[in-house]
């Protein structure tokens, strides 16, 4: 049965990455829901990655904001909204429209985004509306607009099924866009498609690829310039396409020759082996159908827009665009980055992909009947917060994002918020560090599962997010909050929406307004949907022009959106290497881990997702680790000109020499001293304004840690920031790991005092006073377990977590717990590899030892890697690693 047609099941869309998978939620009537993939959704056909599959674990309301507050004191909605209107009015009257701003999020629904932009750009006269999507894909937007004349992703997901070669550039798609990556893997398995990864790190995606180019940071433009030169020199141009549909090739090619004159120079500048470079060039040029997919490694760069255009250039040169199995493909990070682009969520755009050209400004003004239309672009995210630092912005409204964690120079951004006269924050979670304390007014917002509206994924498919729970407490949807403030500001008639369907119809009508095909984004055919049709709307790909059939792809026959209908080759600039100094001589790259999303306010609620990577870390090449005195699994302090963070060291050859990698997810709420956003510099791309999060000059030094430990507890326990390393959700409570320069005995004494540990706690000390354990019990179950030793005892940690999950424990289990031993076979301390089926490393190694010689064979034996596929790279490493060989040998010897 079609899920959308069922009364019990609600078809909605995953709130995480830009793949935009369809989800079927079945509420349990008690605040939870069973989650499954939507077999009818074109993005995933029923598949979910582990993050999507764990959505049901994140629905609790314990961490939610439930009531509006003013200066931290609970208030009513009318008073809170009055305060927001008054705060914006005061700043506007005293300092003009440039002194007010909104900072939005790719987590918002299109309808929320539309209303916020309309209020600011049409009715308050300020284009200072930007979004955290600026941090995600602004360089792709700018690159598309330069080349195509419009922000259009030319292809669709089907192209991954049909390509001969799929290139992932700056994209760890196996972890960050897992369901789409699975399609690439299937193309490889079924049709022999080849997968290439271009990434400084040997990521999970690289691990599963046929070819990996471990490119030097920032050198992607050089590589694709060389490809353009080789296309020219091997006469691989599609001359008919180039002549009929493009302009600017000569200049772009001349510049490419200057940047990448030959293979040897290119290989040296890119830091890759010349044979690997040759293999890539030959593969790309020789395959008739190529998809080049790119994401944050391209976008989050000081020269990100040029990287995008260097990629678009080679597809234009070969006419490999808009045809089945061909095209450049921007993978968006956030669930609704595309929807935000459609309604003008970026400060330099107007609604419906329009610009600040006078004709566009006039058109939007007339459509909205807008009294105070902004006529020039506003401040982009980094500029916006620099203006706040200078005191030029007086009133700010932040919705659904935390710039105090995610913007570059995060510590400085957090301090900048105190310079505002007025700050409103619309937020879901009560655990967003650095933001709620700074706010004048906090407005509780509806979350995923409660929100009603639409999102657009990376292939231009608009999907419904449907509610299946009522918002808890007094939480409201964001569009309603904005509309009520607009009414208080005297614009009630223009914001008299009854619900999201009204907003969507207006948005669709604007996209088709005076649009004779000159604007790519047109969903005018959806402007007359009845409420019931909007409710039942199936996923639909734009464009949907009134009176015309839809289309999957753009540009196979030209039809670009520059005034002459031609695409532009862009002569890109020669990218400078990262600016390292004597003090900061390493390149810090940032990114994501497989099972977490952004700042973990949602994924951090899932015990299952917490166990894949349960603490913040920094990856270092073993040679650098040895040179710098770092030990694997020890601690190190990473420092940049902006700040510092303390992280656990992972020495791995998957990291380039001279580079560091640290994930972005941990905040002060989840890690005491591991806010990686505090390290990143504010260098931005000159065209797109997108920050360069991938190449911050940094340094690293060992941290003198003498004791480590953990506290597993049924209730949240506050530990001092200098001590707590990471906090994770576990079944039945939470677990905190910690590390200290003090030795075990001193740390144990401090903690007993800090925690007020009762004398009745069961205690055990051994190994010459170097190892301490104590536990408290109540109602026949474990209440808390504290462990201190010179190093984190992973077996004891996992045993304690397993014990906390038990509804009752007996006397023998108490003794085992105090001994720090696993309780039963199912309580293995081996690291979790497959989160979907909870398969641990030791089970996989056992399967390999028993003869499973491939990822698929391991899957047949253990089920690991057979659902979302996110762990297949790790399984492959185990299959091929020396550990596995040793395990096999050991197995034979037994
Ligand atoms: Fe959600 Fe995973 Fe699909 Fe992305 S790939 S939309 S995170 S289920």
How far is ligand 1, taken at its centre, from the CA of residue 366, in Å? 39
CB 124 within 8 A of CB 100: yes
Query: For ligand 1, is residue 49 a contact (CB within 6 Å)?
Result: yes
Q: What is the position in ligand 1's atom list of the atom closest to the CA of 20?
A: 6
CB 245 within 8 A of CB 567: yes
Residue whose CA is at the smallest distance from ligand 1 atom 3: 21
User: Burial of 761 by CB count in 10 Å (0-12 exposed, 13-18 middle, 19+ buried)?
Assistant: middle
Q: What is the position in ligand 1's atom list of the atom closest to the CA of 16?
A: 7
Q: Compute the average pLDDT of residues 49-77.
A: 93
How far is ligand 1, taken at its centre, from the CA of residue 199, in Å? 22
Query: For ligand 1, is residue 14 a contact (CB within 6 Å)?
Result: yes
How far is ligand 1, taken at its centre, from the CA of residue 295, in Å? 15
Query: For ligand 1, is residue 48 a contact (CB within 6 Å)?
Result: yes
Q: What's the pLDDT score for residue 767?
A: 58
Q: Compute the average pLDDT of residues 242-256.
A: 98
Of the residues 106, 178, 458, which should be mutated to test ligand 1's pocket, given the most ligand atoms within 8 Å of the CB? Answer: 178
How far is ligand 1, taken at its centre, from the CA of residue 767, in Å? 47
Q: What's the pLDDT score for residue 881?
A: 67
How far is ligand 1, taken at its centre, from the CA of residue 887, in Å? 34
How far is ligand 1, taken at its centre, from the CA of residue 84, in Å? 35
Under the banding of pLDDT at 50, 70 and 90, the label for residue 769 is confident
Q: What is the position in ligand 1's atom list of the atom closest to the CA of 597?
A: 7
- Half-sphere exposure of residue 414: CA atoms within 13 angstroms, side-chain side: 20
Query: For ligand 1, is residue 284 a contact (CB within 6 Å)?
Result: no
Residues 367-420 have pLDDT tens digits of: 999 999 999 999 999 999 999 999 999 999 999 999 988 888 888 889 999 999
How far is ligand 1, taken at its centre, from the CA of residue 15, in Å? 8
785, two tokens: 């377990």
Q: What's the pLDDT score for residue 503?
A: 98
How far is ligand 1, taken at its centre, from the CA of residue 765, in Å? 46
Tell the residue number behind the tokens 């009508």, with chain if given: 509
Of the residues 24, 37, 49, which should be mutated to test ligand 1's pocket, given the most ligand atoms within 8 Å of the CB? Answer: 49
Query: For ligand 1, is residue 649 a contact (CB within 6 Å)?
Result: no
Q: What is the position in ligand 1's atom list of the atom closest to the CA of 48?
A: 8
Query: For ligand 1, is residue 378 a contact (CB within 6 Å)?
Result: no
DSSP state letters, 547-578: TS---S---TT---SSTTS-EE---PPPPPPP
Q: What's the pLDDT score for residue 615?
A: 87
Under the banding of pLDDT at 50, 70 and 90, the label for residue 672 is confident
How far is ligand 1, taken at its centre, from the CA of residue 43, in Å? 9
Of the residues 13, 15, 18, 19, which should be mutated to test ligand 1's pocket, given the most ligand atoms within 8 Å of the CB? Answer: 19
How far is ligand 1, taken at its centre, from the CA of residue 465, in Å? 14
- With a CB cutoff of 8 Å and minimum separation 6, the contacts of 843 are 828, 830, 862, 864
Closest residue by Cα to residue 574 from 836, 349, 258: 258
Q: What is the position in ligand 1's atom list of the atom closest to the CA of 17?
A: 4
CA dist., res. 195 & res. 164, Å (int): 9
CA dist., res. 49 & res. 603, Å (int): 13
Q: Compute the average pLDDT of residues 263-274.
A: 98
187 SS3 class:
helix
How far is ligand 1, taken at its centre, from the CA of residue 20, in Å? 6
Of the residues 16, 107, 160, which should be mutated to test ligand 1's pocket, given the most ligand atoms within 8 Å of the CB? Answer: 16
How far is ligand 1, taken at its centre, from the CA of residue 630, in Å? 36
Residues 30-46 have pLDDT tens digits of: 889 999 999 999 999 99
Query: For ligand 1, is residue 836 a contact (CB within 6 Å)?
Result: no
CB 723 within 8 A of CB 740: yes
How far is ligand 1, taken at its centre, from the CA of residue 48, in Å? 6
Query: For ligand 1, is residue 37 a contact (CB within 6 Å)?
Result: no
Q: What is the position in ligand 1's atom list of the atom closest to the CA of 180?
A: 5
How far is ligand 1, taken at its centre, from the CA of residue 637, in Å? 33
Query: For ligand 1, is residue 298 a contact (CB within 6 Å)?
Result: no
How far is ligand 1, taken at its centre, from the CA of residue 175, in Å? 10
Residue 891 has pLDDT above 90, yes or no: no
Under the banding of pLDDT at 50, 70 and 90, the label for residue 761 is low
- With a CB cutoff of 8 Å and minimum separation 6, the contacts of 698 are 584, 586, 587, 588, 638, 639, 640, 660, 679
How far is ligand 1, taken at its centre, from the CA of residue 801, in Å? 28
Q: Compute the average pLDDT of residues 48-61.
A: 91
Q: Phi first, then psi: give them for residue 632, nearest 5 degrees.
A: -60, 135
801 SS3 class:
helix
How far is ligand 1, taken at its centre, from the CA of residue 432, in Å? 23
Query: For ligand 1, is residue 55 a contact (CB within 6 Å)?
Result: no
Residues 681-697 have pLDDT tens digits of: 989 999 999 999 999 99
CA dist., res. 51 & res. 484, Å (int): 34
Residues 509-557 have pLDDT tens digits of: 999 999 999 999 999 999 999 999 999 999 999 999 999 888 899 999 9
Mean pLDDT comparison of 290-294, 430-434, 844-848, highest-scoring range:
290-294
How far is ligand 1, taken at its centre, from the CA of residue 186, in Å? 17
CB 12 within 8 A of CB 43: no
Query: For ligand 1, is residue 17 a contact (CB within 6 Å)?
Result: yes
Query: For ligand 1, is residue 21 a contact (CB within 6 Å)?
Result: yes
Q: What's the pLDDT score for residue 101?
A: 98
Query: For ligand 1, is residue 51 a contact (CB within 6 Å)?
Result: yes
CB 187 within 8 A of CB 166: yes
Q: What's the pLDDT score for residue 821?
A: 57
Q: Compute the average pLDDT of residues 745-758.
A: 82
Q: What is the position in ligand 1's atom list of the atom closest to the CA of 19?
A: 6
Strands across the sheet with 762-766, in order?
724-730, 733-740, 707-713, 781-789, 771-778, 762-766
DSSP state of 526: G
Query: For ligand 1, is residue 178 a contact (CB within 6 Å)?
Result: yes
Residue 5 has pLDDT above 60, yes or no: no
Query: For ligand 1, is residue 19 a contact (CB within 6 Å)?
Result: yes
Pairing of strands 724-730, 129-131: unpaired
Q: What is the position in ligand 1's atom list of the atom closest to the CA of 179?
A: 5
Residue 791 has pLDDT above 70, yes or no: yes
Residue 2 has pLDDT above 70, yes or no: no
Q: What is the position in ligand 1's atom list of the atom closest to the CA of 868?
A: 2
Ordered by where they begin, the domains of the chain are 10-58 (2.20.25.90), 69-137+336-541 (3.40.50.740), 146-330 (3.40.228.10), 586-702 (2.40.40.20), 707-818 (3.30.390), 832-893 (1.10.10.1100)
Query: For ligand 1, is residue 91 a contact (CB within 6 Å)?
Result: no
- With a CB cutoff of 8 Å and minimum separation 6, the contacts of 700 are 586, 618, 620, 628, 630, 636, 637, 638, 639, 660
DSSP state letters, 651-697: E-TTSPTTEEEEES---TTT-TT--GGGT----B-TTT--B--S-EE
How far is ligand 1, taken at its centre, from the CA of residue 177, in Å? 6
Query: For ligand 1, is residue 179 a contact (CB within 6 Å)?
Result: yes
Query: For ligand 1, is residue 47 a contact (CB within 6 Å)?
Result: no
Mean pLDDT, the chain, rounded, equals 91
Q: What's the pLDDT score for residue 765?
A: 65
Query: For ligand 1, is residue 52 a contact (CB within 6 Å)?
Result: yes
**Whole-model pTM?**
0.92
Under the banding of pLDDT at 50, 70 and 90, the label for residue 893 is very low
Q: Compute the average pLDDT of residues 716-741.
A: 87
Q: What is the enclosing helix (H) or strand (E) of 605?
A: none
**Largest Cα–Cα distance in the chain?**
85
Q: What is the percent of the chain where pLDDT is above 70?
A: 95
How far is ligand 1, taken at its centre, from the CA of residue 23, in Å? 9
CA dist., res. 830 & res. 858, Å (int): 17
Of the residues 43, 51, 870, which should be mutated to test ligand 1's pocket, given the most ligand atoms within 8 Å of the CB? Answer: 51
Closest residue by Cα to residue 136 from 827, 658, 664: 664
Residue 328 has pLDDT above 70, yes or no: yes
Residue whose CA is at the smallest distance from ligand 1 atom 2: 49
Q: What is the position in ligand 1's atom list of the atom closest to the CA of 49?
A: 2
How far is ligand 1, taken at its centre, from the CA of residue 512, in Å? 31
Residue 298 has pLDDT above 80, yes or no: yes
Closest residue by Cα to residue 723 from 706, 702, 739: 739
């Amino acid at each position: 049965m079609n899920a959308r047609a069922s009364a019990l099941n609600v078809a909605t869309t995953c709130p995480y990455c830009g793949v935009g998978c369809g989800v079927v939620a079945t509420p349990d009537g008690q605040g939870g829901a069973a989650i499954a993939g939507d077999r009818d959704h074109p993005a995933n056909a029923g598949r979910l990655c582990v993050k999507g599959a764990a959505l049901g674990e994140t629905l609790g309301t314990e961490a939610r904001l439930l009531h509006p507050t003013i200066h931290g004191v609970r208030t009513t909605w009318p008073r809170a909204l009055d305060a927001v209107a008054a705060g914006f009015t005061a700043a506007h009257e005293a300092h003009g429209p440039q002194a007010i701003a909104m900072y939005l999020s790719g987590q918002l629904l299109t309808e929320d985004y539309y209303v916020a932009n309309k209020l600011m750009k049409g009715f308050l006269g300020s284009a200072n509306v930007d979004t955290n999507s600026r941090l995600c894909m602004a360089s792709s937007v700018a690159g598309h607009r330069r080349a195509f004349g419009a922000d259009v992703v030319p292809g669709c997901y089907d192209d991954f099924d049909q390509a001969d070669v799929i290139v992932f550039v700056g994209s760890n798609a196996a972890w960050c866009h897992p369901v789409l990556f699975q399609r690439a893997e299937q193309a490889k398995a079924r049709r022999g498609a080849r997968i290439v990864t271009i990434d400084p790190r040997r990521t999970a995606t690289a691990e599963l690829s046929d070819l990996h180019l471990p490119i030097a940071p920032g050198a992607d433009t050089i590589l694709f310039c060389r490809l353009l030169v080789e296309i020219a020199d091997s006469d691989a141009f599609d001359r008919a396409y180039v002549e009929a549909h493009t302009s600017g090739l000569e200049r772009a090619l001349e510049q490419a020759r200057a940047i990448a004159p030959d293979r040897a120079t290119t290989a040296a500048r890119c830091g890759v082996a010349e044979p690997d470079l040759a293999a890539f060039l030959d593969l790309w040029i020789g395959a008739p159908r190529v998809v080049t997919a790119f994401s944050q490694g391209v976008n989050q760069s000081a020269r990100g827009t040029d990287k995008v255009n260097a990629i678009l250039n080679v597809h234009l040169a070969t006419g490999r665009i808009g045809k089945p199995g061909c095209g450049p493909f921007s993978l968006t990070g956030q669930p609704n980055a595309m929807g935000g682009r459609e309604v003008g969520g970026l400060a330099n755009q107007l609604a419906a992909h329009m610009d600040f050209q006078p004709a566009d400004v006039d058109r939007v003004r007339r459509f909205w009947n807008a009294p105070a239309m902004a006529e020039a672009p506003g401040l982009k995210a980094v500029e916006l917060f620099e203006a706040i630092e200078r005191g030029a912005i007086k009133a700010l409204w932040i919705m659904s994002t935390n710039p105090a964690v995610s913007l570059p120079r995060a510590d400085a951004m957090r301090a900048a918020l105190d310079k505002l006269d007025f700050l409103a924050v619309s937020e879901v979670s009560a655990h967003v560090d650095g933001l709620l304390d700074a706010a004048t007014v906090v407005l509780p917002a509806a979350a995923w599962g409660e929100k009603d509206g639409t999102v657009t994924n990376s292939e231009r498919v608009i999907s419904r997010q449907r509610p299946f729970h009522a918002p808890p407490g007094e939480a409201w949807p964001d569009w309603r909050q904005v509309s009520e403030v607009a009414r208080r500001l005297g614009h009630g008639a223009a914001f008299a929406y009854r619900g999201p369907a009204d907003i969507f119809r207006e948005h669709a009508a604007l996209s088709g307004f005076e649009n004779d095909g000159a604007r790519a984004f047109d969903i005018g055919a959806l402007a007359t949907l009845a409420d019931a049709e909007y409710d039942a709307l199936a996923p639909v790909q734009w464009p949907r022009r009134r009176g015309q059939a839809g289309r999957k792809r753009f540009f196979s026959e030209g039809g670009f959106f520059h005034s002459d209908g031609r695409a532009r080759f862009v002569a890109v600039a020669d990218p400078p290497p990262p600016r390292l100094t004597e003090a900061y001589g390493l390149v810090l790259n940032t990114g994501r881990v497989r099972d977490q999303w952004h700042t973990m306010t949602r994924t951090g609620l899932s015990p299952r997702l917490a166990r894949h990577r349960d603490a913040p870390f920094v990856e270092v090449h073993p040679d650098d680790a040895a040179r710098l005195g770092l030990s694997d699994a020890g601690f190190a302090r990473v420092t940049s000109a902006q700040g510092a963070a303390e992280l656990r060291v992972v020495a791995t050859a998957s990291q380039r020499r001279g580079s560091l990698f640290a994930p972005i997810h941990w905040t002060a709420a989840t890690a005491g001293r591991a806010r990686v956003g505090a390290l990143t510099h504010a260098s931005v791309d000159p065209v797109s304004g997108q920050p360069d999060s991938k190449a911050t000059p940094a340094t690293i030094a060992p941290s003198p840690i003498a004791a480590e430990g953990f506290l597993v507890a049924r209730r949240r326990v506050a530990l001092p920031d200098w001590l707590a390393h990471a906090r994770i959700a576990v079944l039945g409570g939470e677990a905190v790991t910690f590390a200290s320069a003090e030795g075990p005995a001193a740390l144990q004494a401090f903690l007993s005092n800090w925690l007020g540990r009762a004398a009745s706690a069961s205690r055990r000390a051994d190994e010459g006073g170097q190892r301490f354990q104590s536990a408290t019990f109540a109602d026949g179950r474990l209440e808390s377990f504290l462990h201190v030793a010179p190093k984190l005892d992973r077996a004891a940690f996992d045993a304690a977590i397993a014990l906390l999950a038990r509804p009752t424990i007996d006397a023998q289990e108490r003794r085992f717990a105090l001994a720090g031993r696993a309780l039963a076979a199912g309580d293995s301390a081996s690291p979790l590899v497959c989160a979907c089926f909870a398969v641990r490393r030791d089970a996989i190694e056992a399967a390999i030892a028993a003869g499973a010689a491939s990822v698929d064979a391991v899957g047949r034996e253990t089920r690991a890697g057979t659902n979302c596929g996110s762990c297949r790279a790790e399984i492959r490493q185990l299959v091929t690693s020396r550990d596995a060989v040793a395990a096999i040998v050991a197995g034979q010897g037994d």
